[in-house]
Amino acid sequence: MKLSGWGRYPTIDAQVTAPRSTDELANLVKEGSAIARGNGRAYGDSAVSPTNTIHMKHFNRMLAFDEESGQLVAEAGVLLADVIEAFLPRGWFPSVTPGTKFVTLGGMIAADVHGKNHHKDGSFGSYVDWIDIFTADGTVQRCSQTENTELFEWTIGGMGLTGVILRAAIRLRPVTSAWIEQTTLAADNITHAIELFENSLDATYSVAWIDCLQTGEELGRSLVMLGEHAQATSVPLRYRKQPFQMPAKRKLNIPVDVPGWVLNSFSVRAFNALYYWNGKRRPKRQIVDWDSYFYPLDSVLGWNKIYGPHGFAQFQCVIPLSQAEDGLTELLAAIASAGAGSFLAVLKRFGAQESRFSFPMEGYTLALDFPVNRKSLALMNELDSITLQHNGRFYLAKDSRMQRDVFLQSDRRAEDYSKYRRDESVSAAYSSAQSERLGL
């Protein structure tokens, strides 16, 4: 069948099987070139193997929960949305969440996802107590910070290339309500935005939305949004007695491809300006429900179709702190001068992180969506070089088009990872279209 990631690019003819038991899984892994697939929310080809994609949808059971520590043991195919549905009413929330709840635990571990609280709490991997993984030699290995540590460290952020994650123990965080107190600050330009972030390192959550079509003095004009879990006493009156209760919401559905001209730079410009001025006018402090705060895009099902039939690609890099301002300025200038606006230009502050292969490092991460066409592919190559010049690196969960040499240059750790995979004889057993493209 034709298979792609969330960006619908590239589309690859792939053999997909959804095993129901470890025995069935074992038989599939024997065939080689296998890659696990969660819910296909990685943008590109990281969860696609042309000959052997293993869909984990039947491994979707929660196995145990410890009310004291908030530790949840669950199979890798469990959706984050289901975890929230089951445990938020009991006062627990994921310690780290990406911008969509339609991801699996396996996918979150494999990409070592980050959230708006990375500067404070680190990435998802910090909340993984142990992992059961189906390795290349056909055995199930438990790994953790004290047991099989090498396997553990390469698996977190390893993009599925160490084996198939079967189960994991993760820790949730206790929360006081299902609401977030949000503070919106307007930044005149990128320097100002960075200043606001640096002054808000205490905030639990922070993220900025950039109007990336502005130039000159206004380059990097943005809204910086800070968030805290609201105390039960400050949730809206109607919900105060049941602070974990939520208003019911309707879902919008985008069933068809939207023609390309809808997304031309003029409409993006108009949208961005409107959003910025609305944000600026909005009360500085607001109380919002968890779903609108963390997952604004999830309420529009299938929004990936608004980029039309050719799909879209995301560019996401991180620039180390010392070079962040220069690097971001150059990136934004290149984007603005190409006039290739994006609805979603998101800036986050990462805290320190040392890992074997995970994406985050201390600095700033910028993420933007572009429709796939010749012009934006060229622009993304330019963004790659700017990132390289500032010692940045790229997020594989978002990548669908990077060149091998750019990647290898950006990440010295890739060589070690390849060596590990060769030494442990994993390379032949597990590979994805992405790992082949990037030479991992």
Partner 1 sequence: MRNGAVLILGARSDIAMALAHRFAKAEYDIQLAARNAESLDASRCDIELRYKVTVRLHEFDALDITSHKGVLEDLAELPTIAVCAVGYMGEQAQSERDTKAAIKVLRSNFEGPASILAELANKFAQRGSGTLVGISSVAGERGRATNYVYGSAKAGLTAFLSGLRNRLAKKGVHVVTVLPGFVATQMTDGMDLPARLTAEPDEVADAVFKAVRNRNNIIYVKPIWRLIMVIIRNIPERIFKRMKI
Ligand X SMILES: Cc1cc2nc3c(=O)[nH]c(=O)nc-3n(C[C@H](O)[C@H](O)[C@H](O)COP(=O)(O)OP(=O)(O)OC[C@H]3O[C@@H](n4cnc5c(N)ncnc54)[C@H](O)[C@@H]3O)c2cc1C
Q: Which of 86, 338 has the CB closer to partner 1?
A: 86
Candidate segments 78-86, 158-166, 309-317, 386-394, binder of partner 1 by CB under 8 A: 78-86
Residue 345 lies near ligand X (rule: CB under 6 A): no
Q: Which of 60, 329 has the CB closer to partner 1?
A: 60
Rounded distance, CA 379 to CA 372, Å?
11
What three-state secondary structure class fits 429?
coil
Burial class (CB in 10 A: 0-12, 13-18, 19+), 2: exposed
Q: Which of 102, 239 has the CB closer to ligand X?
A: 102
Binding partner of 314, given partner 1, ligand X, none, CB within 5-8 angstroms per partner class: none
Helix (H) / strand (E) element for 255: namely none
Binding partner of 111, given ligand X, partner 1, none, CB within 5-8 angstroms per partner class: ligand X
Q: Which of 164, 324 has the CB closer to ligand X?
A: 164
| DSSP assigned state of 231 | P
Cβ count within 10 A of residue 146: 8
| Torsion of the alpha carbons at 398, 404, 405 and 409, rounded to the nearest 10 | 40
Binding partner of 181, given partner 1, ligand X, none, CB within 5-8 angstroms per partner class: none
Contact 425, 136 (CB under 8 A): yes
Q: Which of 57, 192 has the CB closer to partner 1?
A: 57
Length of the chain: 440
Q: Which residues contact 24 (CB under 8 A, 6 or more apart)?
A: none
Residue 20 lies near partner 1 (rule: CB under 8 A): yes
Residue 65 CB, nearest approach to partner 1 (Å): 5
Binding partner of 104, given ligand X, partner 1, none, CB within 5-8 angstroms per partner class: ligand X
What three-state secondary structure class fits 162?
coil
Rounded distance, CA 292 to CA 300, Å?
11
Identified binder of ligand X from the candidate list 10, 98, 122, 392, rule CB under 6 A: 98
The angle that helices 324-338 and 374-389 make with each other, rounded to 10 degrees, is 160
Contact characters 276-305, ligand X, x per CB under 6 A: ---------------------x--------
Rounded distance, CA 421 to CA 415, Å?
10
Binding partner of 38, given partner 1, ligand X, none, CB within 5-8 angstroms per partner class: ligand X
Restricting to residues 157-176, name those near ligand X by CB under 6 A: 159-160, 164-165
Q: How far is CA 273 from CA 38, 139, 153, 220, 221, in A?
A: 36, 55, 43, 13, 10
Contact characters 41-70, partner 1, x per CB under 8 A: -------------------xxxxxx-----
Residue in 314, 305, 299, 292 with CA at minimum distance from that of residue 263: 305
Q: Which residues contact 398 (CB under 8 A, 6 or more apart)?
A: 42, 43, 44, 314, 315, 316, 367
Binding partner of 64, given partner 1, ligand X, none, CB within 5-8 angstroms per partner class: partner 1
Residue 63 lies near ligand X (rule: CB under 6 A): no
Q: Which residues contact 2 (CB under 8 A, 6 or more apart)?
A: 11, 12, 13, 14
Contact characters 35-54, ligand X, x per CB under 6 A: xxxxxxxx---xx-------
Residue 75 lies near partner 1 (rule: CB under 8 A): yes
Q: Which of 61, 419 has the CB closer to partner 1?
A: 61
Residue 336 CB, nearest approach to ligand X (Å): 24
Contact characters 80-119, partner 1, x per CB under 8 A: --x--xx---------------------------------
Cβ count within 10 A of residue 21: 10
Name the site residues for ligand X (rule: CB under 6 A): 5-6, 35-42, 46-47, 56, 76, 98-100, 103-104, 106-108, 110-111, 113-115, 159-160, 164-165, 297, 397, 432
